[in-house]
Chain A
């Protein structure tokens, strides 16, 4: 807290602080350190930026009444699991090694193509730079030690808090030959939502990419016919984005009114 404040002002600040959602006062302000301390999956030594997916204030989702719990001023960030260190364990190292070898040999370079490797809950995720996703897919499919020949699809995720990387396309690959599963993740910004299409490598990704375009607005360049697939052709907006409302109307039952699902209290 700053020194020039009078005790009265400080008291006022403290009173303000317990009102949730008003983060303008000194007592309320949370430092970056506190944000990190309150986060899940804190990376050791602060090596990398956090993949922040949400910032929460208070507990119990109660924002319309006084702070009876005393937790109203709590601010915490939530981050997805960060990059992993070698050894990744199991066959993960082998796959990453082979892929690195192939990417280095082709002149692309592993470090240029793969941003990070995440191992979480026994699953391997490669965060791939969008320009090289097709090449990575091709190596993963064609090399005899990789053989991820079955592309099971693409799904999108919208992280509005992940500034500059709001839209993620997630590719789920399976190796029938080696009984392995792998996930590729490509992040792009809302301002420039372009990713090269992987339909040239996995023709089965055709409809999946159309679906991801339809719901998230990610444009897959080079797709043979990137039209909406679930929503009508002239539908405005991309429904699965977080800023797109769920919709619904209040329902009256026996005199009481139940608000639509996206306007009910959220405990998250």
Chain B
């Protein structure tokens, strides 16, 4: 790839905006503590119309989201979202790494639901390679298991932080305790709590370790226990009902126009779920429902997410049953694609198995060359482009991959559901109270790592 011509000007940081329009306007800087001085000064100025900059560093904006609110008294008359504070150029970086290394990058986009990016990306690479049908059954089952576990953790984070932002710390602690159970399973199976890079083009990095299935069953039991606590805390809570009902309303027409998918769309009554409409990884063989409500508000989204967790647990149990039945390969048989490493846990942590090292270093020079070539150079993917979507906890995640026939993606684009859904910020916030902004944004459930990529 040609990267010879430098940018016209060297990139630099942006300085603060100071011009004729911004000078002379009274501005205040508010942080924690008492704001009575600011309130007095605002009252003295007698200006009812105030523009409030919420974020980008604010605990209730889910990361570095910047909200610009124009408020009249307590009413939000205009709301705008500013993003880009977490843009790290992951898509550009992926163009300079092999197809397999791409997984390590895209897993870091939406860090609350990393396995969905991995799965979507790998499905897209497999479609480009034309090996979709060759991916072993067991690998698909493990992918489904990992994705559904991840959906549970993601929804738990959404509910927990949403509660925390309203001052309900117990909702947060219960939610995160439940999530911890699954993070332990992630660590057991993939070796990492997040940024797993576990799903690889052609299958998964390694099989579920011995005892993994039993541990997952146990964890799911614990999650159900915490989930019932969470339900009791949330669904029967009159304060939460008052705060969430009829707040952040977005109807079906609004959702479709803005391309909003996921729990927000299902809270408007449409049971659109990619797992049902365009199944991948064998989702058509699992029994589960797509929960919907018709309240179109933040409360409905809480109900949908809670029910989706139960459905995910149901899918996880079916996947675990299949994993118990019989062992099998977890990577395509084609040695030109399959990652050559054989991971094993040694005294110093996880690494290549000693048997594999012994083979490539001691007995087979061809195996060593093969390992070296595949790891450093990677495999070639026939030229073309594909579009693959999966049902992400926040909506429809799309991956647009273009290959130029080389060992690296020519272009990798991720249509992140949070990015798209954040466009609804204005419509769900405007006309409401300032305090409802927090609820409305929490019900969109944006994760800025995915938004900015």
Contacts from A to B (Cβ < 8 Å): 40-41, 53-54, 56, 60, 78-81, 120-123, 125, 149-153, 155-158, 160, 170, 172, 174, 176, 179, 181, 183, 202-208, 211, 228-237, 239-240, 242-247, 261-264, 266-268
Contacts and interface: CB of A to CB of B under 8 A. Distances in A.
B1 A230 contact: no
B207 to A, nearest CB: 29
Contact of A121 (B3, B84, B127, B261): B127
Given A237-B7, A266-B1, A246 B420 contact: no
Given A152-B389, A204-B260, A268-B1, A239 B92 contact: yes
B5 A243 contact: yes
Contacts of A151: 259
Contacts of B13: 232
A145 B47 CA distance: 54
Given A204-B423, A236-B11, A245-B3, A172 B400 contact: yes
Interface string B65-104: 0000000000000000001100101011101110000000
B29 to A, nearest CB: 21
A149 to B, nearest CB: 6
Nearest to A262: B3
Nearest to A61: B377
Contacts of A123: 386-387
A53 B410 contact: yes
A245 to B, nearest CB: 5
Interface string B414-453: 0100011011000000000000000000000000000011
Contacts of B91: 240
A34 to B, nearest CB: 17
A214 B92 CA distance: 13
Given A155-B400, A236-B9, A239-B92, A204 B405 contact: no
Per DSSP, chain B at the interface is loop
B5 A170 contact: no
Contacts of A125: 385
B118 interface: no
Nearest to B405: A78
Given A54-B406, A262-B3, A153 B257 contact: no
Contacts of B84: 228-232
A181 B280 CA distance: 14
A80 B383 contact: yes
Given A172-B415, A267-B407, 7 more contacts: A54-B404, A80-B384, A81-B383, A123-B387, A174-B389, A230-B84, A268-B406
B92 A240 contact: yes
A58 to B, nearest CB: 13
A268 B398 contact: no
B22 interface: no
Interface stretch (B34-42, B51-59, B229-237, B270-278): B270-278
A201 B410 CA distance: 29
B26 interface: no
Nearest to A263: B3
Interface in B203-238: none
B383 A40 contact: yes
B411 interface: yes
Contacts of B93: 246, 261
B199 interface: no
A56 B406 CA distance: 10
Given A230-B452, A242-B3, A236 B8 contact: yes
B357 to A, nearest CB: 22
A261 B277 contact: no
Given A176-B277, A236-B7, A261-B93, A229 B415 contact: no
A80 B378 CA distance: 21
A237 B404 contact: no
B258 interface: yes
Contact of A152 (B398, B406, B407): B398
Contact of B411 (A157, A172, A179, A236): A157
Nearest to A266: B1
A97 B1 CA distance: 39
B408 interface: yes
Output the residue of A78, A172, A203, A268 with the most chain B CB within 10 A. A268
B14 interface: yes
B383 A206 contact: no
B423 A181 contact: no
Contacts of A247: 11
17 contacts: A53-B410, A149-B256, A152-B259, A152-B398, A155-B411, A170-B385, A204-B423, A230-B452, A235-B14, A237-B11, A242-B1, A244-B3, A245-B7, A262-B1, A262-B96, A263-B3, A264-B96
Given A231-B87, A261-B93, A267 B260 contact: no
B282 interface: no
A53 B396 contact: no
A41 B383 contact: yes
B402 interface: yes
